[in-house]
Structure 1
Protein backbone atom coordinates (compact mmCIF):
# COMPACT_ATOMS: atom_id res chain seq x y z
CA UNK A 1 0.00 0.00 0.00
CA UNK A 2 2.78 2.43 0.82
CA UNK A 3 5.06 3.85 -1.86
CA UNK A 4 8.64 2.57 -1.78
CA UNK A 5 10.24 4.24 -4.83
CA UNK A 6 11.42 7.52 -3.37
CA UNK A 7 13.13 10.62 -4.70
CA UNK A 8 14.26 13.85 -3.05
CA UNK A 9 12.51 17.10 -3.94
CA UNK A 10 13.56 20.37 -2.27
CA UNK A 11 15.30 18.26 0.37
CA UNK A 12 12.23 16.16 1.18
CA UNK A 13 12.00 12.43 0.53
CA UNK A 14 8.81 11.77 -1.43
CA UNK A 15 7.45 8.94 -3.58
CA UNK A 16 8.73 8.96 -7.16
CA UNK A 17 6.15 6.53 -8.49
CA UNK A 18 4.45 6.84 -11.89
CA UNK A 19 1.12 8.08 -10.51
CA UNK A 20 2.85 10.79 -8.47
CA UNK A 21 4.85 11.90 -11.50
CA UNK A 22 1.62 12.03 -13.51
CA UNK A 23 -0.09 14.05 -10.77
CA UNK A 24 2.78 16.55 -10.82
CA UNK A 25 2.44 16.96 -14.57
CA UNK A 26 -1.36 17.14 -14.38
CA UNK A 27 -1.12 19.91 -11.78
CA UNK A 28 1.48 21.74 -13.86
CA UNK A 29 -0.86 21.69 -16.87
CA UNK A 30 -3.95 22.76 -14.93
CA UNK A 31 -2.57 25.37 -12.51
CA UNK A 32 -1.09 28.82 -12.92
CA UNK A 33 2.59 28.91 -11.85
CA UNK A 34 1.86 30.42 -8.43
CA UNK A 35 -0.82 27.79 -7.80
CA UNK A 36 1.36 24.96 -9.03
CA UNK A 37 4.08 26.04 -6.61
CA UNK A 38 1.48 26.20 -3.83
CA UNK A 39 0.27 22.64 -4.37
CA UNK A 40 3.83 21.32 -4.53
CA UNK A 41 4.79 23.15 -1.33
CA UNK A 42 1.64 21.83 0.33
CA UNK A 43 2.65 18.30 -0.65
CA UNK A 44 6.18 18.71 0.66
CA UNK A 45 4.93 20.24 3.91
CA UNK A 46 2.41 17.42 4.34
CA UNK A 47 5.06 14.79 3.69
CA UNK A 48 7.48 16.41 6.10
CA UNK A 49 4.88 16.80 8.86
CA UNK A 50 4.12 13.11 8.57
CA UNK A 51 7.80 12.17 8.69
CA UNK A 52 8.65 14.40 11.64
CA UNK A 53 5.72 13.12 13.67
CA UNK A 54 6.16 9.47 12.67
CA UNK A 55 2.65 9.25 11.23
CA UNK A 56 2.13 6.09 9.19
CA UNK A 57 0.39 7.02 5.96
CA UNK A 58 -0.04 6.20 2.29
CA UNK A 59 2.47 8.56 0.69
CA UNK A 60 0.96 8.26 -2.80
CA UNK A 61 -2.48 9.25 -1.53
CA UNK A 62 -1.04 12.28 0.25
CA UNK A 63 0.88 13.23 -2.89
CA UNK A 64 -2.08 13.01 -5.26
CA UNK A 65 -4.47 14.65 -2.80
CA UNK A 66 -2.29 17.68 -2.16
CA UNK A 67 -1.06 18.08 -5.74
CA UNK A 68 -4.59 18.08 -7.18
CA UNK A 69 -6.48 19.89 -4.41
CA UNK A 70 -6.69 23.23 -6.26
CA UNK A 71 -6.96 22.20 -9.91
CA UNK A 72 -10.32 24.00 -10.24
CA UNK A 73 -9.28 27.18 -8.42
CA UNK A 74 -8.95 29.98 -10.95
CA UNK A 75 -10.59 33.24 -11.96
CA UNK A 76 -12.69 31.42 -14.59
CA UNK A 77 -14.40 29.12 -12.10
CA UNK A 78 -18.15 28.91 -12.74
CA UNK A 79 -19.35 25.97 -10.60
CA UNK A 80 -21.87 24.46 -10.51
CA UNK A 81 -20.58 23.15 -7.16
CA UNK A 82 -17.95 24.30 -4.70
CA UNK A 83 -14.51 24.33 -6.31
CA UNK A 84 -13.32 21.79 -3.75
CA UNK A 85 -16.02 19.29 -4.78
CA UNK A 86 -15.37 19.82 -8.47
CA UNK A 87 -11.66 19.22 -7.83
CA UNK A 88 -12.35 16.17 -5.64
CA UNK A 89 -14.27 14.47 -8.43
CA UNK A 90 -11.46 15.16 -10.92
CA UNK A 91 -8.78 13.99 -8.48
CA UNK A 92 -10.54 10.75 -7.55
CA UNK A 93 -11.18 9.96 -11.23
CA UNK A 94 -7.50 10.63 -11.91
CA UNK A 95 -6.60 8.19 -9.11
CA UNK A 96 -8.89 5.44 -10.40
CA UNK A 97 -7.64 5.89 -13.94
CA UNK A 98 -4.11 5.56 -12.55
CA UNK A 99 -4.90 2.18 -10.99
CA UNK A 100 -5.61 3.12 -7.39
CA UNK A 101 -8.36 1.13 -5.69
CA UNK A 102 -11.64 2.58 -4.49
CA UNK A 103 -10.51 3.07 -0.89
CA UNK A 104 -7.47 5.09 -1.89
CA UNK A 105 -9.49 7.08 -4.43
CA UNK A 106 -12.03 7.89 -1.71
CA UNK A 107 -9.24 9.11 0.62
CA UNK A 108 -8.10 11.40 -2.18
CA UNK A 109 -11.66 12.65 -2.71
CA UNK A 110 -11.95 13.48 1.00
CA UNK A 111 -8.51 15.11 1.05
CA UNK A 112 -9.46 17.45 -1.77
CA UNK A 113 -13.06 18.14 -0.79
CA UNK A 114 -12.09 18.95 2.80
CA UNK A 115 -8.88 20.86 2.04
CA UNK A 116 -10.38 24.18 3.16
CA UNK A 117 -12.36 22.72 6.07
CA UNK A 118 -9.67 21.91 8.65
CA UNK A 119 -12.21 21.68 11.46
CA UNK A 120 -13.21 18.38 9.81
CA UNK A 121 -10.22 17.35 7.69
CA UNK A 122 -7.74 17.34 10.56
CA UNK A 123 -9.80 14.66 12.32
CA UNK A 124 -10.16 12.29 9.39
CA UNK A 125 -7.79 9.47 8.33
CA UNK A 126 -4.05 10.15 8.51
CA UNK A 127 -3.82 10.84 4.77
CA UNK A 128 -6.67 13.36 4.82
CA UNK A 129 -5.34 15.00 7.98
CA UNK A 130 -1.83 15.35 6.53
CA UNK A 131 -3.11 16.81 3.26
CA UNK A 132 -5.16 19.30 5.27
CA UNK A 133 -2.19 20.15 7.49
CA UNK A 134 0.22 20.69 4.60
CA UNK A 135 -2.23 22.94 2.79
CA UNK A 136 -3.03 24.91 5.95
CA UNK A 137 0.67 25.38 6.65
CA UNK A 138 1.21 26.94 3.23
CA UNK A 139 -1.93 29.10 3.26
CA UNK A 140 -2.19 30.32 6.85
CA UNK A 141 1.04 29.14 8.50
CA UNK A 142 -0.63 26.54 10.70
CA UNK A 143 2.03 24.31 12.40
CA UNK A 144 4.73 26.46 10.82
CA UNK A 145 7.05 25.81 13.77
CA UNK A 146 6.86 22.03 13.40
CA UNK A 147 9.21 22.05 10.40
CA UNK A 148 12.77 23.42 10.82
CA UNK A 149 13.04 26.91 9.36
CA UNK A 150 15.90 25.98 7.03
CA UNK A 151 13.75 23.26 5.47
CA UNK A 152 10.85 25.66 4.93
CA UNK A 153 13.23 28.19 3.40
CA UNK A 154 14.56 25.62 0.95
CA UNK A 155 11.08 24.52 -0.11
CA UNK A 156 9.94 28.12 -0.63
CA UNK A 157 13.17 28.97 -2.49
CA UNK A 158 12.67 26.10 -4.94
CA UNK A 159 8.91 26.71 -5.29
CA UNK A 160 8.45 30.48 -4.75
CA UNK A 161 5.15 31.91 -3.56
CA UNK A 162 4.81 34.35 -6.50
CA UNK A 163 2.42 36.71 -4.68
CA UNK A 164 0.12 33.84 -3.73
CA UNK A 165 -1.84 35.83 -1.13
CA UNK A 166 -2.98 38.42 -3.65
CA UNK A 167 -3.62 35.99 -6.49
CA UNK A 168 -5.52 33.50 -4.37
CA UNK A 169 -7.60 36.34 -2.91
CA UNK A 170 -8.63 37.32 -6.44
CA UNK A 171 -9.80 33.75 -7.11
CA UNK A 172 -11.88 33.66 -3.93
CA UNK A 173 -13.40 37.05 -4.68
CA UNK A 174 -14.28 35.87 -8.19
CA UNK A 175 -16.23 32.94 -6.72
CA UNK A 176 -18.00 35.27 -4.29
CA UNK A 177 -18.95 37.55 -7.19
CA UNK A 178 -20.20 34.98 -9.69
CA UNK A 179 -21.37 32.13 -7.44
CA UNK A 180 -22.35 33.57 -4.04
CA UNK A 181 -24.74 30.65 -3.54
CA UNK A 182 -21.69 28.37 -3.25
CA UNK A 183 -20.20 30.38 -0.37
CA UNK A 184 -22.82 30.40 2.37
CA UNK A 185 -21.26 27.55 4.37
CA UNK A 186 -17.53 27.99 3.70
CA UNK A 187 -14.57 30.33 4.04
CA UNK A 188 -15.12 32.07 0.70
CA UNK A 189 -17.92 34.00 2.42
CA UNK A 190 -15.22 35.83 4.41
CA UNK A 191 -13.61 37.11 1.20
CA UNK A 192 -16.96 38.15 -0.20
CA UNK A 193 -17.88 40.08 2.92
CA UNK A 194 -14.48 41.77 3.11
CA UNK A 195 -13.78 42.59 -0.54
CA UNK A 196 -16.84 42.22 -2.81
CA UNK A 197 -19.32 45.10 -3.14
CA UNK A 198 -22.99 44.13 -2.67
CA UNK A 199 -22.01 40.57 -1.80
CA UNK A 200 -24.85 38.56 -0.30
CA UNK A 201 -24.92 34.82 0.23
CA UNK A 202 -27.77 32.58 1.41
CA UNK A 203 -28.02 32.23 5.17
CA UNK A 204 -28.29 29.01 7.14
CA UNK A 205 -30.64 30.93 9.43
CA UNK A 206 -33.06 31.34 6.53
CA UNK A 207 -32.72 27.71 5.54
CA UNK A 208 -33.77 26.61 9.03
CA UNK A 209 -36.58 29.16 9.26
CA UNK A 210 -37.93 28.24 5.82
CA UNK A 211 -37.84 24.47 6.28
CA UNK A 212 -41.16 23.02 5.00
CA UNK A 213 -42.55 21.85 8.34
CA UNK A 214 -45.54 23.27 10.21
CA UNK A 215 -43.88 24.13 13.55
Structure 2
Protein backbone atom coordinates (compact mmCIF):
# COMPACT_ATOMS: atom_id res chain seq x y z
CA UNK A 1 0.00 0.00 0.00
CA UNK A 2 1.25 3.48 -0.89
CA UNK A 3 0.13 6.48 1.18
CA UNK A 4 1.28 10.01 0.36
CA UNK A 5 3.99 8.47 -1.79
CA UNK A 6 5.28 6.24 1.02
CA UNK A 7 5.10 2.47 0.71
CA UNK A 8 4.04 0.56 3.79
CA UNK A 9 6.53 -2.35 4.08
CA UNK A 10 4.92 -5.62 3.01
CA UNK A 11 7.56 -8.22 3.82
CA UNK A 12 6.61 -11.24 5.93
CA UNK A 13 8.09 -9.66 9.06
CA UNK A 14 6.40 -6.30 8.38
CA UNK A 15 3.03 -8.00 7.99
CA UNK A 16 3.58 -9.81 11.29
CA UNK A 17 4.42 -6.50 12.96
CA UNK A 18 1.23 -4.94 11.58
CA UNK A 19 -0.94 -7.80 12.84
CA UNK A 20 0.76 -7.89 16.24
CA UNK A 21 0.33 -4.17 16.85
CA UNK A 22 -3.22 -4.16 15.50
CA UNK A 23 -4.11 -7.01 17.88
CA UNK A 24 -2.29 -5.49 20.87
CA UNK A 25 -2.90 -1.76 20.72
CA UNK A 26 -6.03 0.32 20.73
CA UNK A 27 -7.23 1.72 17.42
CA UNK A 28 -5.97 5.11 18.60
CA UNK A 29 -2.40 3.85 19.14
CA UNK A 30 -2.36 1.66 16.04
CA UNK A 31 -3.26 4.53 13.72
CA UNK A 32 -0.91 6.86 15.59
CA UNK A 33 1.97 4.41 15.20
CA UNK A 34 1.33 4.01 11.48
CA UNK A 35 1.22 7.77 11.04
CA UNK A 36 4.53 8.00 12.90
CA UNK A 37 6.06 5.75 10.24
CA UNK A 38 4.52 7.71 7.38
CA UNK A 39 5.49 11.14 8.71
CA UNK A 40 8.94 9.86 9.67
CA UNK A 41 9.52 8.42 6.19
CA UNK A 42 8.26 11.61 4.52
CA UNK A 43 10.62 13.66 6.69
CA UNK A 44 13.51 11.36 5.83
CA UNK A 45 12.91 11.68 2.10
CA UNK A 46 12.56 15.45 2.35
CA UNK A 47 15.86 15.66 4.23
CA UNK A 48 17.64 13.31 1.83
CA UNK A 49 18.36 10.71 4.52
CA UNK A 50 19.11 7.10 3.67
CA UNK A 51 17.11 4.81 5.92
CA UNK A 52 15.87 1.24 6.04
CA UNK A 53 12.07 1.45 5.66
CA UNK A 54 11.52 -1.89 7.39
CA UNK A 55 13.56 -0.92 10.46
CA UNK A 56 11.83 2.44 10.61
CA UNK A 57 8.49 0.66 10.37
CA UNK A 58 9.32 -1.74 13.21
CA UNK A 59 10.48 1.14 15.40
CA UNK A 60 7.41 3.24 14.67
CA UNK A 61 4.94 0.42 15.20
CA UNK A 62 6.46 -0.79 18.48
CA UNK A 63 7.20 2.63 19.95
CA UNK A 64 4.05 2.83 22.12
CA UNK A 65 3.36 -0.83 22.85
CA UNK A 66 4.66 -0.23 26.39
CA UNK A 67 1.53 1.83 27.07
CA UNK A 68 -0.80 -1.11 26.50
CA UNK A 69 -2.59 -3.29 29.04
CA UNK A 70 0.10 -5.98 28.74
CA UNK A 71 2.56 -3.69 30.54
CA UNK A 72 0.40 -2.51 33.42
CA UNK A 73 2.64 -4.49 35.78
CA UNK A 74 5.92 -3.11 34.46
CA UNK A 75 8.05 -0.73 36.50
CA UNK A 76 10.30 0.14 33.55
CA UNK A 77 9.87 3.27 31.48
CA UNK A 78 7.22 2.52 28.85
CA UNK A 79 9.74 3.40 26.14
CA UNK A 80 12.07 0.68 27.43
CA UNK A 81 9.21 -1.83 27.44
CA UNK A 82 8.55 -1.01 23.80
CA UNK A 83 12.23 -1.24 22.89
CA UNK A 84 12.53 -4.61 24.63
CA UNK A 85 9.39 -5.92 22.91
CA UNK A 86 10.79 -4.96 19.52
CA UNK A 87 14.16 -6.49 20.44
CA UNK A 88 12.56 -9.81 21.40
CA UNK A 89 10.44 -9.84 18.25
CA UNK A 90 13.45 -9.16 16.05
CA UNK A 91 15.56 -11.80 17.78
CA UNK A 92 12.89 -14.40 17.06
CA UNK A 93 13.21 -13.47 13.41
CA UNK A 94 17.02 -13.70 13.54
CA UNK A 95 17.55 -10.08 12.56
CA UNK A 96 21.18 -8.94 12.96
CA UNK A 97 22.10 -7.45 16.31
CA UNK A 98 23.16 -4.08 14.90
CA UNK A 99 19.68 -3.65 13.42
CA UNK A 100 18.12 -4.66 16.72
CA UNK A 101 20.26 -2.11 18.56
CA UNK A 102 19.21 0.58 16.09
CA UNK A 103 15.49 -0.08 16.60
CA UNK A 104 15.97 -0.34 20.37
CA UNK A 105 17.51 3.13 20.44
CA UNK A 106 14.82 4.53 18.15
CA UNK A 107 12.08 3.46 20.54
CA UNK A 108 13.85 4.11 23.84
CA UNK A 109 14.83 7.66 22.88
CA UNK A 110 11.61 8.84 21.28
CA UNK A 111 10.55 10.90 24.32
CA UNK A 112 14.00 12.42 24.88
CA UNK A 113 14.16 15.67 22.89
CA UNK A 114 17.48 16.94 21.62
CA UNK A 115 19.23 13.58 21.20
CA UNK A 116 17.55 11.44 18.48
CA UNK A 117 18.24 13.89 15.65
CA UNK A 118 21.97 13.34 16.20
CA UNK A 119 21.65 9.57 15.92
CA UNK A 120 21.25 7.34 12.85
CA UNK A 121 18.37 8.16 10.48
CA UNK A 122 16.01 5.45 11.72
CA UNK A 123 16.39 6.72 15.28
CA UNK A 124 15.95 10.35 14.26
CA UNK A 125 12.95 9.61 12.06
CA UNK A 126 10.91 7.67 14.62
CA UNK A 127 11.14 10.71 16.87
CA UNK A 128 10.44 13.07 13.95
CA UNK A 129 7.27 11.10 13.20
CA UNK A 130 6.18 11.17 16.83
CA UNK A 131 6.85 14.89 17.13
CA UNK A 132 4.87 15.65 13.98
CA UNK A 133 1.87 13.52 14.94
CA UNK A 134 1.66 14.43 18.63
CA UNK A 135 2.77 18.06 18.83
CA UNK A 136 2.78 19.13 15.18
CA UNK A 137 6.52 19.82 15.06
CA UNK A 138 7.42 20.48 11.43
CA UNK A 139 3.72 20.64 10.46
CA UNK A 140 4.25 23.23 7.73
CA UNK A 141 7.08 21.21 6.19
CA UNK A 142 4.55 18.63 5.02
CA UNK A 143 2.25 19.60 2.17
CA UNK A 144 -1.49 19.78 2.83
CA UNK A 145 -1.88 16.88 0.40
CA UNK A 146 0.57 14.72 2.35
CA UNK A 147 -1.14 15.44 5.63
CA UNK A 148 -4.59 14.83 4.19
CA UNK A 149 -3.62 11.55 2.53
CA UNK A 150 -2.03 10.21 5.72
CA UNK A 151 -5.03 11.17 7.85
CA UNK A 152 -7.49 9.77 5.30
CA UNK A 153 -5.96 6.30 5.62
CA UNK A 154 -5.05 6.47 9.32
CA UNK A 155 -7.44 8.97 10.92
CA UNK A 156 -6.74 10.86 14.10
CA UNK A 157 -10.39 10.64 15.06
CA UNK A 158 -12.23 13.07 17.27
CA UNK A 159 -10.34 14.69 20.16
CA UNK A 160 -7.03 13.00 19.35
CA UNK A 161 -5.07 15.46 21.48
CA UNK A 162 -7.04 14.69 24.63
CA UNK A 163 -7.19 10.97 23.86
CA UNK A 164 -3.47 10.53 23.30
CA UNK A 165 -2.74 12.34 26.58
CA UNK A 166 -5.15 9.93 28.30
CA UNK A 167 -3.45 6.94 26.66
CA UNK A 168 -0.08 8.16 27.90
CA UNK A 169 -1.45 8.64 31.40
CA UNK A 170 -3.09 5.21 31.47
CA UNK A 171 0.20 3.58 30.54
CA UNK A 172 2.26 5.41 33.15
CA UNK A 173 0.07 6.15 36.16
CA UNK A 174 1.06 2.92 37.94
CA UNK A 175 4.79 3.76 37.60
CA UNK A 176 5.05 7.50 38.21
CA UNK A 177 8.67 7.33 39.29
CA UNK A 178 9.68 6.37 35.74
CA UNK A 179 8.72 9.85 34.52
CA UNK A 180 11.50 11.53 36.52
CA UNK A 181 13.69 13.63 34.23
CA UNK A 182 11.44 13.18 31.20
CA UNK A 183 8.67 15.11 29.50
CA UNK A 184 6.34 12.29 30.62
CA UNK A 185 6.19 14.01 34.00
CA UNK A 186 4.04 16.68 32.34
CA UNK A 187 1.44 14.03 31.51
CA UNK A 188 0.97 12.81 35.05
CA UNK A 189 1.15 16.31 36.49
CA UNK A 190 -1.86 17.18 34.34
CA UNK A 191 -3.81 13.93 34.64
CA UNK A 192 -3.13 12.59 38.15
CA UNK A 193 -4.00 14.91 41.06
CA UNK A 194 -1.93 12.75 43.44
CA UNK A 195 1.24 12.95 41.35
CA UNK A 196 4.13 14.93 42.82
CA UNK A 197 6.94 15.82 40.47
CA UNK A 198 10.43 14.97 41.73
CA UNK A 199 12.77 17.95 41.66
CA UNK A 200 16.34 17.14 40.64
CA UNK A 201 17.77 19.91 42.80
CA UNK A 202 16.06 18.33 45.82
CA UNK A 203 17.57 14.97 44.92
CA UNK A 204 21.02 16.54 44.92
CA UNK A 205 20.54 18.52 48.12
CA UNK A 206 19.03 15.58 50.02
CA UNK A 207 21.73 13.10 49.05
CA UNK A 208 23.98 11.49 51.69
CA UNK A 209 26.96 13.68 50.82
CA UNK A 210 27.85 15.93 53.75
CA UNK A 211 29.03 19.01 51.93
TM-score higher than 0.5:
yes
List per-residue Cα deviations over 1:17-62 (Å, max 9, x = no partner). 2222211111111110011000001101111111222211122111
Task: Give the alignment partner of residue 56 of structure 2, picking from 47, 59, 62.
Answer: 62
Task: Give the alignment partner of residue 114 of structure 2, picking from 119, 124, 135.
Answer: 119
- Give 1:10 shift: 5.3
Q: Report matched runs for 1:43-58 at 5 Å.
A: 43-58=37-52
Task: Give the alignment partner of residue 202 of structure 1, picking from 167, 187, 198.
Answer: 198
Task: Confirm whether residue 87 of structure 1 aligns to residue 82 of structure 2.
Answer: yes
Partner of 1:3: none
**Superposition TM-score, scaled by structure 1 size:** 0.89
Task: Give the alignment partner of residue 20 of structure 2, picking from 26, 43, 48.
Answer: 26
Q: Report matched runs for 1:122-137 at 5 Å.
A: 122-137=117-132
Determine the C-alpha separation between the residues in 1 that align with 2:90 and 2:204: 37
Determine the C-alpha separation between the residues in 2 that align with 1:210 and 1:77: 31
Q: Which moved more, 1:129-138 or 1:14-23?
A: 14-23
- Give 1:175 shift: 4.9
Task: Confirm whether residue 36 of structure 1 aligns to residue 33 of structure 2.
Answer: no
1:176/1:199 contact within 8 Å kept: no
SS where residue 63 of structure 2 aligns? coil
Partner of 2:177: 181
- Give 1:176 shift: 5.5
Determine the C-alpha separation between the residues in 2 that align with 1:158 and 1:68: 19
Cα 1:176/1:17, change in 2 over 3 Å? closer
2:60/2:107 contact within 8 Å kept: yes
Determine the C-alpha separation between the residues in 2 that align with 1:93 and 1:168: 26
Partner of 2:99: 104
Which 5+ residue runs of structure 1 have no aligned equivalent? Answer: 1-6
Determine the C-alpha separation between the residues in 1 that align with 2:8 and 2:43: 12
**Superposition TM-score, scaled by structure 2 size:** 0.90
Cα 1:214/1:110, change in 2 over 3 Å? same
User: How many residues were matched structurally?
Assistant: 209
Determine the C-alpha separation between the residues in 2 that align with 1:212 and 1:30: 44
Task: Give the alignment partner of residue 15 of structure 1, picking from 9, 12, 20.
Answer: 9
2:4/2:150 contact within 8 Å kept: yes
The alignment's C-alpha RMSD in Å is 1.9
